[in-house]
Structure 1
Amino acid sequence: MKIDTGLTMPELPESLSQAGLQFAVAAEEDFDEIMSMSQDIYGGLDYLPTRYTSWLQDTNRTVILARKQGKVIALESVCVIDDGETMLVEGLRVAPQERGKGVAGVLLRFCAELVKSKYPEGILLVRFRAEELKFRLSDFNSSGGFHSSQSTSSPKPSPVRLDDTAIKQLYLTTDVMHGVLPNATIIQDWQPFKLLPSNLSILLKKDIDWMVDDEANPTVASLCTFPFRVPIGNDWYYLNIDMFGKDLSLVLQQFLCHLQRHTAALKGHVMCQLFLEPALWENMADFCQSTLHVELVKEYTEQCVVESDVV
């Protein structure tokens, strides 16, 4: 995504518009003013002077400036990767006289709003009563289920639940999951796990239900945490489902299987958060509301992962 200087900036939340800052896309003529903020960065070893021009030419990157009374006081670089799924922020700079005043946080939130204005949401948070959903799922299955109402293709085999041995075999000894997982990484409950034996050992200690559409050649996989109580009120539960893959019919199939398995014995309210491919968000939201008749609580997608490789 390349944001040029003709871009219409997104409408800001009140918390940002009241910050007294103006935002703009950086240009070559801003170089000297930006460099004045970087003199003490990394003890004089700042990389930005040599990368600034190439950043402006990078088609996947946008450099955003924050101005106060016309003067540049902060900079942030935004790079969109993974086909629009991930936003990387890099090169944060704040003028010395403005540090400690919350400018960095305001600029980061603006960048998030900017990217979200160009990319669809990928996280669904829905709410329902477990008892009511059980009846809806029963009616849904008795009427022919997903294949009769949502797809013209022939019925697909039922999803496969994996045990520990099958999980290790599939995720560690072959490369087939590399094409399913984003950047060959398991994202479980907001946390990224590279495909390493040590990481898989951590995940296998958790109460997670692992599922794929085909154990030999999967195109969709999912991880569902077992429901747990939350203190929002009496008999409130939380359910988290991480979906990987782009086939809507298979994603829906596994989603319904997880709901049936993990809510059947519950009584009370359930908050279910579903992570999925951004391109599927609209169809999944429509399915949840129109077919399952569950409440869409919040439309958002913000996963902030900070990684550091320590040698």
Structure 2
Amino acid sequence: MGRGGVSQAARRSPSLVLLALLLTLVCAAQSLWYQELCSYTWDAIDTDKDVRYKINLCESLPSADCGGSSAICAYDVAKKNLQSVGDSSQKKDLELLIEFNTTRSCTDQNAQHKIHSSISFLCGKTMGTPEFVTSSACVHYFEWRTFVACRNDVFKPKKEVPCYVFDEDGRKHDLTPLIKLSGGYLVDDSDDDVDLFINICRDIGKPDSATSSCPPDSAACLLKGNNAFDVGQPKEGLKLTGKDRLVLQYTKEYSASEKKPDFCDGHSPAVSITFTCPSGRREGADPKLTAKTNCRYEIEWVTEYACHRDYLESHSCILTSDQHDVSID
């Protein structure tokens, strides 16, 4: 072994040196404190200026988004203009702060710096979402409340997926408030011989008394007699399939050595949960099983959390008919 721990064979072979470098980069990526957020491209929006952002903390966005070298891409809807406001190669990791620089100078008057973005992280109980804060002098600020920023992994789940979407009008639908940190929701079902429990966007985690026998990775758990079965785990984030209509899907995959439940008739279990916004300010309902065949479970849940966030919030003490479907001053 020569100086610096590199063998003579490696020094003679550029391919071995390149392989060693790639392994080093992979190991570094796997050790990131925000690794759980790396598997997804995230959305945020500046509602005042109607600028929509795509964010990927660990990889470049597709070439269609700002040219293929961007980690944070901003789309100005009015100007129909795409611009990278943070390049993947210009990332700086700090404690609970990630900064993305670019090579393009700010054109604002008296500005002497490059266009860049800054993401601050705060401890939260779920995976959370990046929230646009403000932009000033070519600097774009975001805040992210998430479990990866907490000490000692106190809120870290086995598995969680993004639990929000933006519709075509740029309005946010966020099911994060439905996520349970322990236990699950009992699904309304006419079958008294089984109980189906679900959590939203993450595994059931620390069980409560009703879910104490559920497998640890399950987000959908079927209790049948004295047995508990994992019938679904979160793989992909929440999807928007229509106006105020959201879908979350769980699947259970089996290895060659694992046996599927006998009552599944050879099929792999799967769960589809459809969330709909109640019309006319109707009260929401409990999740309800609408169909089941060969361990494929379809659930409908009417809940105000499926509505866009403007429908649920007001920055004043006034609720309007157009925004909130009710008028209160």
**Same-fold call, TM cutoff 0.5:** no
Instruction: Bin the TM-score by the shorter chain.
Output: under 0.3
- The structure in which a higher percent of residues are strand is 2
TM-score, normalised with respect to structure 2: 0.20
- The structure in which a higher percent of residues are helix is 1
